[in-house]
Structure 1
Amino acid sequence: MADAVTRRQVFSGSPYERPFAYCRAVRTGDTITVAGTAPIEADGSSTPGDADAQADRCFALIFKAIEDLGGRGADIVRTRMFITDPADAEAVGAAHGRWLAIARPAATMVVVSALLRPEWKVEIEADAIVGGESECSG
């Protein structure tokens, strides 16, 4: 008989979590999957400012969710960044570089026609594997 895998969830307080029936992140075994994370403030409002400020807010929420589930930023192995304007690629990429310089995960950035709120310029997903050793070539 296989061992049962424990599933843990964390919630960020996003106004969409309850009505859309999702959580910010789920940990099963050593894997943490963080849902699409938009620039939402604690009061439910959108983070003001440019794509750089909004990306920083997304990464802060992502790192907190991973830490709440026993991981750390260095455990991140994959990110997906969704931006609404190709002109924001440099700013969002720079934020990614600030937050993930140690982890250097596999990363994708795509331009989409819109996000849920028109003022959002970026939304980010992340996956982490807790407890792995990091080795980078290149």
Structure 2
Amino acid sequence: MLTRLRRSPVADNPAALVGRQTLASASPYEPLYGYSRAVRIGDRISVAGTAPIEPDGSSTPGDAGVQAARCLTIIADALAALGGSPADVVRTRMFITDPADADLVGRAHGAMFGDIRPAATMVVVSALLRPEWKIEIEAEALIEKTA
């Protein structure tokens, strides 16, 4: 669940060339560690590493594919809150803890981005913040300007 959208003074200044919007989610780590779920500056949206967290702060149960789908849903919601959509995503980074999960994660990624085909990287890491997490995903989007 996305909880807050903030605009910086730069974004509220009509003379500013580039505005900044930040978005918070239900992650308990954002306020503790001082980061935003997503940031939009101009036509770019950057979505922070997104773990499989439920609205109540608990971890999403299930295999890496289920957890990846949850991460991607959180990312899609963040993009929408900042005026974007999965169709605007140009790059993703996936961090998995077990190389055997690559296919499950890749298929979840393909279910959302199969026709979009952003640049993507999948990296195996030794661990994520919570031991039950099998996946964390980052995304970058570029909103095309319309005439």
- For the aligned pair, the TM-score class normalised by the smaller chain equals over 0.9
| 2:129 match: secondary structure | coil
Residues 114 and 132 (structure 1), Cα distance of their counterparts in 2 relative to 1, 3 Å cut: farther
Q: Percent identity?
A: 64
Match of residue 46 from structure 1: 59
- TM-score, normalization by structure 2: 0.87
**Can you list the C-alpha shifts for 1:47-68, whole angstroms capped at 9, x where unaligned?**
0000000000000000000010
Q: Distance in 2 between matches of 1:74 and 1:24?
A: 19
Q: Point out 4+ residue stretches in structure 1 off by more than 3 angstroms.
A: none
Question: Tell me, which stretches of 5 or more residues in structure 1 are unaligned?
Answer: 134-138
| CA RMSD between the two structures | 1.3
The aligned amino acid for 1:67 is A
Match of residue 125 from structure 1: 138
Q: Distance in 1 between matches of 2:145 and 2:125?
A: 32
**Can you list the C-alpha shifts for 1:28-60, whole angstroms capped at 9, x where unaligned?**
000000000000000000000000000000000
Question: Tell me, which stretches of 5 or more residues in structure 2 are unaligned?
Answer: 1-14
Q: Quick one: higher RCO (CA 8 Å, sep 6+), 1 or 2?
A: 1
- TM-score, normalization by structure 1: 0.92
Number of aligned positions between the proteins: 132
**Can you list the C-alpha shifts for 1:68-110, whole angstroms capped at 9, x where unaligned?**
0000110000000000000000000000000111221000000
Q: Distance in 2 between matches of 1:55 and 1:82?
A: 10
